[in-house]
Chains A and B, each alone.
Chain A
Amino acid sequence: MAALGRAALLLSFALVVYAVVAGGYAAWRKRRRLALSAQNALLAAFGTTLVAAIVLWSALARRDFSFVYVSEHISRALPTGYALSAFWGGQEGSLLLWLLILTGYSALAVFLNRRARDLVPWVVPVLGGVAVFFSFMLCFVSSPFATQAAPADGAGMQPSLQNPYMLAHPPMLYLGYVGLTIPFAFAMGALLSGRTDERWIVLTRRWTLAAWTFLGVGQLLGAHWAYVEIGWGGYYAWDPVENAAFMPWLAATAFLHSVMIQEKRGMLKVWNMVLVALAFCLSIFGTFLTRSGVINSIHSFSQSPLGGWFLGFIVIATVFSVGLIYLRLPLLKARTKLESLVSREATFLYNNLLLVAFCLTILWGVVYPLLTQALRGETRSVSKPYYNFFLHSFGLPLLLLMGIGPLVAWRRASLRSLGRMFVLPFVAAVVTGGVLLALGYGSSTPGLLAYTFSAFVAVSIVLEFVKGSRAAGSIFRLVSRNRRRYGGYLVHAAVLLFAIGVAGSSAYQTVRERGLQPGQSLQVAGYTLTYERLDSTQASNHTAIRSTIDVSRGGSHVTTLHPGKNTYPVEQTTSNEVSIYHDPRNIGDLFLIADQIDKNGTLYLKALVKPLVNLIWVAGFLFVFGALVAMWPDAVEQRRLAERYAPGAAVA
């Protein structure tokens, strides 16, 4: 069946090349049937790519080791769920997933917007162009359908990937990464067609929001995976590949805010084009970092031939977008000006500057070691203090702005109205800061500032809902009349919970470690951890060694935890298996790591107490809920937009 997979991919390649060539010609020469034919080619490319994906999935399910990809990534003993997830566990499969999602999204976007007959023909060649790159890579550089004489068993899967989170984390990230192609393609289509009105924004609003949500959820799932699986006690290590997903998310966050200024005031048209192109290029850059192997990371695959191709594509995409924006500058002139530096739109602008500055400093942190290696042959690394410095420098003002923005009126705000609106949040912030200082939490200045600002933001969000509900008559009417705004505030509340969780679990965590013999104890943040014994069990593809730790507090038994290690004979590797107690008192965790287990039974135990850490995961649910509220269609707005863009109204 590998031949079918190869043929399906070749067909996909031919179809997307046709979509670019025929679609581009049709849009340029205004040929209706040819444009429709190019659109159909994009739709058909999804079908052929799906066939290729089914072939690979079926080979993984059947453990068909005549496929090189299958033999390199799974073994007979691997449970079927994980075997199927190996689709995105390797380089070639990940590229195929990219193409599958891209052609799926493209087909859906083209189909749903087929009535935008003056814009979509220009969007098709752009979407096709991105798909040409990925299908070319799959057909001619890195094929998942290479075959061999089947070995008796495969190499198996890296143990850290054998985790339920790995079933969802990579696809979520890809849904986000690839999703950013749609607003990019519509933006470029708008520039190519000269239709720089708001239509491309209207058509891609939900696509952008959905891609941004997937990217956010994907990162949270990845953070939770790292937390429970990697076994070092953290959830984000500023690993270059983690940063690779964070950067497009930051750029997309800036875009989601600045695009509102264009819709409401007709401003920032150039900036929005730049942001949408930046988010797209960073999503490709993220894929490059993961696939090229240029960076030593737990996420990246080994050295591969993809690096040069990806760099070339990023350069082409950047030159294409910047050139197009430059050529269309006369069409992107703002129709109004910023009336005051103290206004809602000004706070959006400040938020954008901070987000983009943060994004670029992270980019520099990722790129700097690569450049020094390439130019000087020196091995340099940019570590946690660099990123934490910028997290504090840009993240804390961003947090505060999240509270200030909603309190400021559009166009301009007077000092009197600001004073009136700020009084309650300000008092809440000062009281919170004072109480925390009095309780001895001044040991971490960023932590103290984060909580003080969080109090400000929390009260400002509550005030928005309370005052808005009073003005609208009810909270239901308030939210249903402006889902984007209040969905956005719910997302702000999620970011707030996230910030509180991060500050609590990093600035105020306690860490203790020591070697223990059975019967010995370790004290940490009020807990007594008593090491009782070691047990060993045999699973289908690994041997599990687990310690038994009795956890007590104030002499009372709280729980029993079992940190340990798994040994995987096929993969010839050992993994840390942490054990966690979720403490409802401080919404935090007692996190135990069996750092080392000696043959004589000595256990080197590392214990971390991480207050408020579970707020990070709770924030994820609120984030999704808020995003869904913001995305939910508004019938009144849909009617207004339909009337605005109806063929009889504006389009001849």
Chain B
Amino acid sequence: MTLALVLAAVLAVAAVAFVARPFLHEPAPRSDRLDELGEADRRRLELVEDRDRALAALKELEFDHRTGKVTDEDYRAQVGPLRRRAAEALKALEPRAEARHERITRAG
């Protein structure tokens, strides 16, 4: 019983020390604020996801065309809009476009 209680006490002290570690390790940090996404970052992430989706869709279309799932006619009808979407997503991600968007957001 005594051994069990000693072991339990050791376990408790170790757990408390581990939980308190961030405060013991950094008693006076320069910043204690959690990272969070700003509006511009959120917008950028949306654009990156759009870009990735558009590029993946193009890749899928090419592959489906090569494997015969998409006929030549369907391919021609779909590839244009998908390329445009991908180009728009890439363009929107250009630094200048991003800065412009940020300015518009701030002004609006």
Q: Taking beta carbons and an 8 Å cutoff, which residues of A are in contact with B?
A: 1-4, 7-8, 11, 15, 18, 26-27, 30-37, 40-41, 43-44, 47-48, 51, 117-118, 121, 195, 197-198, 263-266, 335, 407-414, 416-417, 420-421, 464, 467-468, 470-471, 640, 644-645, 647, 649-652
Contact = CB atoms under 8 A, between A and B. Distances in A.
B22 A40 contact: yes
Contact of A35 (B4, B34, B69): B34
Contacts of B8: 3-4, 7-8, 11
B19 to A, nearest CB: 5
A253 B18 CA distance: 38
B57 interface: yes
Interface in B11-46: 11-12, 14-15, 18-23, 26, 29, 31-38, 41-42, 44-46
B33 A32 contact: yes
Interface in B72-91: 73-74, 78
A651 B35 contact: yes
Given A8-B8, A410-B57, A471-B66, A266 B33 contact: no
Given A4-B8, A7-B4, A649 B44 contact: yes
B29 A32 contact: yes
Contacts of B70: 409, 413, 417
The 8 A-B residue pairs with the shortest CB-CB distance in the complex, in nearest-first order: A7-B8, A36-B22, A4-B4, A471-B66, A467-B67, A3-B4, A117-B35, A33-B22
Contacts of A263: 53
B68 interface: yes
Contacts of A411: 57, 61, 78
Nearest to B16: A44
6 contacts: A1-B4, A32-B31, A44-B19, A417-B68, A421-B69, A470-B67
A311 B53 CA distance: 41
A418 to B, nearest CB: 9
B99 interface: no
B5 to A, nearest CB: 6
Contacts of A32: 22, 29, 31-34
Contacts of B50: 266, 335
A650 B44 contact: yes
B34 A43 contact: no
B48 A30 contact: no
Nearest to A18: B19
B18 A40 contact: yes
B7 interface: yes
A117 B35 CA distance: 6
A416 B77 CA distance: 14
Contacts of B45: 197, 644-645, 650
Contacts of A652: 35-38, 41
Contacts of A33: 22-23, 26, 29, 32
A244 B41 CA distance: 42
A213 B61 CA distance: 30
B107 interface: no
B37 A413 contact: no
Contacts of A35: 34
Given A3-B4, A37-B22, A197 B49 contact: yes
A3 B3 CA distance: 10
A197 B46 contact: yes
A362 B9 CA distance: 48
A409 B19 contact: no
Contacts of A410: 57, 60-61, 64
B35 A264 contact: no
Nearest to B69: A409
B25 to A, nearest CB: 9
For A2, A410, A650, the residue with the greatest tally of chain B CB atoms inside 10 Å of its CB is A650
A409 B52 contact: no
